[in-house]
Structure 1
Amino acid sequence: MSNAPVIAAVDGSEPSLRALEWARAAAVRHGTGLMVAHVLPDHAQLYAGRRSSLHDASQPKEFADPVKDWVRALLGGGSELPEGIRYEALEGSVPEALRVIGAEGLMLVMGSRGRGGFATLLLGSNSRAVSATAPCPVVVVPHAERTAGASEAAEESAGRVVLGLHAAETPDDVITFAFAEAAARGTTVQVVSAYAVPPVPNLIIDAPFEVIPPEGLADEGDAVPAEREMLRSQTARLAPFRARYPDVRVEQAAVPGDAAGRLVTASASAALVVVGRHHPRRRPRSLFMGSVAHAVLQHAQGPVAVVPTLKDDA
């Protein structure tokens, strides 16, 4: 259990409704509070500034915020609620306001796009910017069109937590987040790593990958050497996390080639896909995410958690 709340970023749009519901359930699972954050639109911020500068007591103290009433109605709908809920109306740009408030959160949950932009956008500019800069893990919940083809196994209480792992480079914070989420859900962590292979004429790029449990890593087997070495590297990297979370079942998969593509495929039947934000050699406050995190955010059919290296980004 953590004292830090789950933060839901809302703006009244359908994707933010989905994010609020996801955040509510996450706060219940983790036994923590829920903070609902709404960055006020420009006209509301201008009204507040004008009233303050003119000291006009005849005007209402606050600009009417319909999103606050919308949130109150949603959370009063009968679903199980966290112990503590609070609402914060924020000022400033959306990425900066959420980045600042994210320092208080266990995680920050938002929709893949908000009210602005084109309806066909897979990922909005604010979601991309917050995922790249927030000091806490950011969970991006896709809009309904993105999840239309996803499996029913990815419902809130079902599905695996899928972790994209580079055994030598993925920071501990990313792995810890995946195991903690799986423990809170009572589900499995499926660890997916990719290894490079030279191009050959008969390579079937779209073949499904095989999931191998740790006990299946015997000295003999049919796996290609690169795959077997990747699985052994996974096993060594995951050992301390298995010890820390003994009740979490682990499945391992080593796949040739494109890690992002495999994670996107897995997202269709996963409760959550977890990726690290940056390549370890990139400076912590870089505005650019790693290529795998960016590709998964753009195309995943389910929620994606982008986890920073917390000791560096805090």
Structure 2
Amino acid sequence: MTHAPVIAAVDGSEHSLVALEWARAAAVRHGTELLIAHVLPDEAQLYAGRRASLHDASEPEEYADPVNDRIRALLGSSGGELPAGVRYESLEGSVPEAMRVIGAEAMMLVMGSRGRGGFASLLLGSNSRAVASSAPCPVVVVPHAERAAGAEKEESAGRVVLGLHASETPDDVLAFAFAEAAARGTAVQVVSAYVIPPVPTMVVDAPFVVIPPEGLPEEGEDAVPAEVEMLRSQTERLAPFRTLYPDVRVEQAAVPGDPAGRLVTASRSAALIVVGRHHPRRTALSLQIGSVAHAVLHHAHGPVAVVPTLTDDA
């Protein structure tokens, strides 16, 4: 349990309301506060600046915020369990900058994949992409209905799927995935992909098999050396987290092909996909998002958590 809140970024759009519901449930699962944050529209920010500059006491102190009012009413009438505490904040500035500032205190920041102003054809809105690329906390992007329509299970029933490069993924990414699985009472499915020269009998798009630790293959006639080595690397890397979370069941999969494509496929039946933001060798101040996280954010059929490097030694 942590005192850091779950933050829901809302703008009144249907996409953000789906994200709000996801954030509400996350705050309840983790036993923490829900902070609902809304960036005021440009006209409200201009009004506030004008009133402050003119010192006009006859003008109302605050600009009406219909989004905030609507969110309060919806949350109060939803019927779902509410977290121990719920706060509302109206923010000024651009959405990415406001979320970067408020995200410094968050366990996670949850937002929809498209906002009110996005084009219908967009898979991922510009604000969602910018926040996922730069926020100082894990960012969960919840897809809009058209993308989630292909999901095979109810969101709460699926596993937490962790995209893992055993030698490069920071510990913060693994810690987030295990903590989320523990809060849900579900398994962590660890997926790593490897590249091998194509052969006529290899079917890259075939469903992959998940393996419990006791079922790891030994190198032999029927074992692919790259798969055996990757599963062994996974096992070694996962050992400390198995110790920290003994009640979390772990499934391992080492598969040929593109890692982003494999994670997008897994997202059809997952509660959450967890990926690192970027390659750890990039500088900590880099705002660039990695190619795998970028592709999964654009195409996943369920929620995606993009986790930055949060600690100096990660």
The reply to whether TM is greater than 0.5 is: yes
Kept in 1, the 8 Å contact 2:114–2:123? The answer is yes
Q: Deviations over 1:262-296 (max 9, x none)?
A: 00000010000000001011112212111000000
Q: Residue 149 of structure 1 aligns to a residue in which SS?
A: coil
Which amino acid in the other structure matches residue 64 of structure 1? A
Unaligned regions of 5+ residues in structure 2, if any? none
- Root mean square deviation, CA, Å: 1.4
CA deviation after TM superposition for structure 1 residue 220, in Å: 5.7
Residue type of the alignment partner of 2:178: F
Structure 2: distance between partners of 1:184 and 1:131: 23
Q: Are the structure 2 counterparts of residues 210 and 223 from structure 1 closer, same or farther at C-alpha, using a change threshold of 3 Å?
A: farther
Corresponding position: 1:215 with 2:181: no
Q: Deviations over 1:179-216 (max 9, x none)?
A: 00000000000000011111234432211111111110
Aligned position for 1:102: 103
Q: Name the structure 2 match of 1:69.
A: 69
Equivalent residue, structure 2, for 1:122: 123
Residue 292 of structure 2 is matched in structure 1 by 292
Shift of 1:142: 0.4
Q: Secondary structure at the match of 1:87?
A: strand
| Contact 1:8/1:35 (<8 A) preserved | yes
**C-alpha deviations, 1:83-120, integer Å up to 9, x for none?**
11100000001000000000010000000010112111
Deviation readout 1:112-140 (Å, 9 max, x if unpaired): 01011211100001000100100000000
Distance in 1, Cα, partners of 2:189 & 2:18: 24
2:269 maps to a residue whose letter is: S
Task: Give the Cα separation in 2 of the matches to 1:308 and 1:287.
Answer: 10
Alignment of 1:143-154 (within 5 A): 143-151=144-152, 153-154=153-154
Aligned partner of residue 248 in structure 2, secondary structure:
coil
Contact 1:278–1:284 (CA under 8 A) maintained in structure 2: no
2:184 is aligned with 1:185 = yes
User: Residue 171 of structure 1 aligns to which amino acid in structure 2?
Assistant: P
TM-score between the two structures when normalised by the length of structure 2: 0.97
Give unpaired runs (5+ residues) of structure 1: none
Q: Which moved more, 1:210-219 or 1:95-104?
A: 210-219
Aligned to 1:205: 204
Sequence identity percentage: 81
User: CA offsets, 1:137-188, max 9 Å, x none?
Assistant: 000000111111111x242x21000000000000000000000000000000
Distance 1:74 1:223, change over 3 A: farther
Q: Secondary structure at the match of 2:311?
A: helix
User: Are 2:8 and 2:19, in contact at CA under 8 Å, matched by a contact in 1?
Assistant: yes
Q: Is the 8 A contact 2:271 2:302 kept in 1?
A: yes
Q: Which runs of 4+ in 1 moved over 2 A?
A: 199-203, 218-223
